[in-house]
Amino acid sequence: MRNLPVLVLAMSAVVLTACSGGSSAPSTQSSSTTTGSSGSTTPPSTTPAPQDCNAAYLGQFTQRQKLAQLLTVGVTGEADAENVVRTEQVGGVFVGGWTDKALLAQDQIAKVQAASRIPVMVTIDEEGGRVSRVKDLIGAAPSAREIAKTMSVDDFYTFSLDRAKKLKALGVTVDFAPDTDVSSQPDDSVIGDRSFSDDPNVVAQYAGTFIRALHDAGVGTVMKHFPGHGSGSGDSHTGAVRTPPLDQMQTSDLVPFRKLIDSGSAVMVGHLDVPGLTEPNVPASISKEAMALLRQGTGYGADPFDGVIFTDDLGGMAAITARMSIEDAVEAALVAGADNALWITTDAVSKVLDRLVDAVQSGRLPGSQVDASVLRMAKFKGTAPHC
């Protein structure tokens, strides 16, 4: 089930680059006639060679627009969202607690979608509990910890499916959930009751159920916060966070990710300093070593992961902002191997893209790596070419 496509909001105005079944030229191998045993001549084959649809898909974008597909930015409302999509063709918008809910409640998202050459990801972090952006629109949900204590897995599936269908009806295409952290910390700590349990197997069971329910409703999911925030030293919103050493995380924090890596969910990497994995002062969200651990899987006993890797918010969390500018952070994250950089405002989008274009032109960010990320995003969003 790896890389289950996300069903995005249909847009009749969007026309993707067509990919034909092949060129009209016959293949070299079949260009000559052959003579059968009866002496008759067989005409040359005219079967077309397959066209490279990936190249055709990528060819519809400028380099700047390809880079913009790798950005998801928080918006204040319809005008802000439509402007950043129309002017820069960003790949995703994020609905946060500060966003005017009319964007979803009054179907204003349709105008945003119409401004884009391909469907835009409409993302939200609707976990339930204290991280709930649209409970007034789709109904409240208990915290993850309370759910695991009071609901069976089957009941949780039914409950989540209903809320996911309501999210889908509002125009949401991706939920930055479930929280897949393993934690025994107090309810009101940074993870706390956002975690299903301090038992990694319980976390995997309930997080997997959430993923299945949302996918069944056509909404994408993003497991977070790899490699595990649940035992971290503090809150990455307010400063640097240090986790236990990587070897200690193998039997706890990493277990749910290991079990669910083939679920079709994307993964969000946290701003976490991980002894034995990340370099000093280089949190996982901008660490090549952390991205490689996730991609390769061998370092924590998992299958390789070729789905989408998101960063946690790069613009509003002190674990990053105290160390670098948003331009530096986005470049560092993409160079490290993330596919999509997330932050909570549109203010710096043009400056970020200026920096990223320069990074590609100078060779700091390989163009082939950008192309691979654009194609992963297309598959995740359901806009990848079909030939």
Q: ∠ at Cα 84 (82, 89), nearest 5°?
A: 100
C-alpha 111/C-alpha 217 separation (Å) is: 23
C-alpha 234/C-alpha 17 separation (Å) is: 47
For the purposes of burial, counting CB atoms within 10 Å of the CB of 322, is it exposed (0-12), middle (13-18) or buried (19 or more)? exposed
DSSP string, 38-62: TSPEEPPP-PBPPP-HHHHHHTTS-
Give the residue among 87, 92, 132, 126 at the shortest CA–CA distance from 109.
92
Residue type at 45 in one-letter notation:
S
CB 51 within 8 A of CB 19: yes
C-alpha 171/C-alpha 223 separation (Å) is: 20
For residue 312, indicate whether it is catalytic. yes
C-alpha 60/C-alpha 47 separation (Å) is: 26
CB 73 within 8 A of CB 90: yes
Q: Which of 237, 262, 347, 371 is catalytic?
A: 237
The structure tokens listed for 80 are: 């802000």
CB 3 within 8 A of CB 306: yes
For residue 273, indicate whether it is catalytic. no
C-alpha 99/C-alpha 96 separation (Å) is: 5
C-alpha 148/C-alpha 142 separation (Å) is: 10
C-alpha 134/C-alpha 125 separation (Å) is: 9
Q: Which of 193, 253, 312, 313 is catalytic?
A: 312
The structure tokens listed for 255 are: 């277990």
CA torsion sign, 308 to 77 to 346 to 272?
Answer: negative
Positions marked active-site: 237, 312
